[in-house]
Amino acid sequence: MDKIPTLKDIRPFVSTRNACKLCAPLGASVALKGIEGCVPVIHGSQGCATYIRRYMISHYKEPVDIASSNFSEESTIFGGEENLKIALENVIGQYKPKAVGIATTCLSETIGEDVEMQLMQLRDLAKAKGWPELFTVSTPSYQGTHMDGFNATVLGVVKHFSSKTEPVERVNLFPGFVSPADIRQLKEIMVDYGIQATVVPDYSDALDNPVWDQYYRIPKGGTRLVDLKTMGGALASVELGAFTAVRQGGGEESSSADWLEDKFEVKKYQSVLPIGISHTDDFFDSLTKITGKEIPDKYLMQRGRLLDSYADGHKYIFGKKAVVYGEEDLVLALCSFLDEIGVEVVIAASGADSGRLMEQLKIHCPVHGENINVLSDSDFEQIGEMSKLINPDFLIGNSKGNYIATNLNIPLVRVGFPIHDRIGGQRVNHLGYLGTQELFDRIANAMIEYKQNNSPIGYKYM
């Protein structure tokens, strides 16, 4: 059996070879799974919904029901309105949802479907039949990546549900595309600060359910619709991530927190995903500013233990060369964390192309930022070919880069989405002092294990 072919020379390609990104409707589906009682409908061919379900199921190991409007040749020529209506009737009849979020696809966008308009026209029927909340978000897969779909959907949800309300003692939290375990931890932090938080999206339960004694057509959990409606009156919004802005009609960009600030003057606090001491400190500082409360002791202890482990483990990772890939926000946060612990990031790659990754990396990686090879609009073959030249010590990213690590005979530290070749991807902690601790231990141990496996010296004691 041969190896998967690799090219001897590096050359530019017009085509994408082993994509390091997914399409926008996938991001939309993940976000919609985090809204209470919401069923996603993908407006396009049956395959879009099924592929995305399969992709998500392989990672979350949970039932992921996503309906499709199931375009046919007829609907492609004459429009998908009728199909959408049938799909809504069937989804609502079967699932009894509290909301239905409709994400468009390359197909429905290309034939010029105006779903917003179609929903307007269905309004009377919907009212008569007592249908739940219906909203749509534009997610053609020829535009950006799954992250654009995710962010556009969060913004779509915020716009649909929020209005000017009385001030409420709540804080809006936009965690970004993180793991269910991360969201659980963020919610715990909010509780410990005494903050009533509206976390959007909150798929901490729906995409990481306990075992069931009966089958739930819609899993429990998700951001409550009543809470979504009060977002305009919240004390503040905390947005995690530096690449959350969505391109609006007219070309201007706005994230969910931006929009709430512009529209309802909800103060926005933004930080890089809290991975590493620096950005986790920033995140806790925001919460302290909002509430006037000091950081709870529990987290000071976590921080202290994390620092203690930095002392225990720093030598094993110092000067190691890392290849980091994935979504821009995850890449930025990981690089910043690695920079903080003495690892040299040699390649930072993403399938996305915001045009801002390099600038952000330079700001947030003060030690080695200048030396990072930044690959935007990249793919796994390009990452693999570059890695071969540089000889890194380890890779950190989702499971799709595993073949590169295998070819180079170096470890892959699996983080983010998807983790298709292991169990527990939904339970990986990345954020906060706790998540950083998990990542730090895993990275240090990967380096120690590598050395141990390739060394004649016994490693019975350290």
CA dist 220 and 203 (Å) reads 9
Q: Which is nearer to other proteins, 19 or 367 (CB)?
A: 19
Q: Does 90 bind other proteins (CB under 8 A)?
A: yes
Read off the tokens for 75.
């609907």
Read off the tokens for 158.
């915020």
3-state secondary structure at position 246: strand
CA dist 67 and 359 (Å) reads 40
Site residues for other proteins, 14-43, by CB under 8 A, read 14-19, 21-23, 25-26, 41
Site residues for other proteins, 316-355, by CB under 8 A, read 351
The nearest distance, CB 141 to other proteins, in angstroms, is 4
User: Which of 28-36, 141-149, 156-164, 405-413 is the region at the interface with other proteins (rule: CB under 8 A)?
Assistant: 141-149
Q: Does 78 bind other proteins (CB under 8 A)?
A: no
Read off the tokens for 16.
């994408």
Is the bond into 201 cis (omega within 30 degrees of 0)?
yes
- Closest CA relative to residue 107, chosen from 91, 130, 84, 132: 84
Residues 6+ apart with CB under 8 A from 36: 98, 99, 221, 222, 223, 224, 225
Site residues for other proteins, 381-420, by CB under 8 A, read 381, 400
Q: Which is nearer to other proteins, 221 or 276 (CB)?
A: 221
Site residues for other proteins, 217-276, by CB under 8 A, read 217
Q: Which is nearer to other proteins, 223 or 399 (CB)?
A: 399
Q: Which of 141, 172, 271, 436 binds other proteins (CB under 8 A)?
A: 141
CB atoms near residue 445 (< 10 Å):
15
Cβ-defined contacts of 10-17 (< 8 Å, 24+): 10/385, 10/386, 10/389, 13/381, 13/382, 16/351, 16/379, 17/379, 17/380, 17/381, 17/382
Q: Which of 29, 70, 172, 336 binds other proteins (CB under 8 A)?
A: 70
The nearest distance, CB 93 to other proteins, in angstroms, is 7
Q: Which is nearer to other proteins, 37 or 432 (CB)?
A: 37
Beta strands in 249-343 (DSSP E): 253-254, 267-271, 321-325
The nearest distance, CB 231 to other proteins, in angstroms, is 29
Q: Which is nearer to other proteins, 207 or 447 (CB)?
A: 207
Q: Does 69 bind other proteins (CB under 8 A)?
A: yes
User: Which of 11-19, 186-194, 267-275, 453-461 is the region at the interface with other proteins (rule: CB under 8 A)?
Assistant: 11-19
Q: Which is nearer to other proteins, 88 or 345 (CB)?
A: 88
Is the bond into 418 cis (omega within 30 degrees of 0)?
yes
Q: Does 73 bind other proteins (CB under 8 A)?
A: yes
Q: Which of 64, 240, 346, 446 binds other proteins (CB under 8 A)?
A: 64
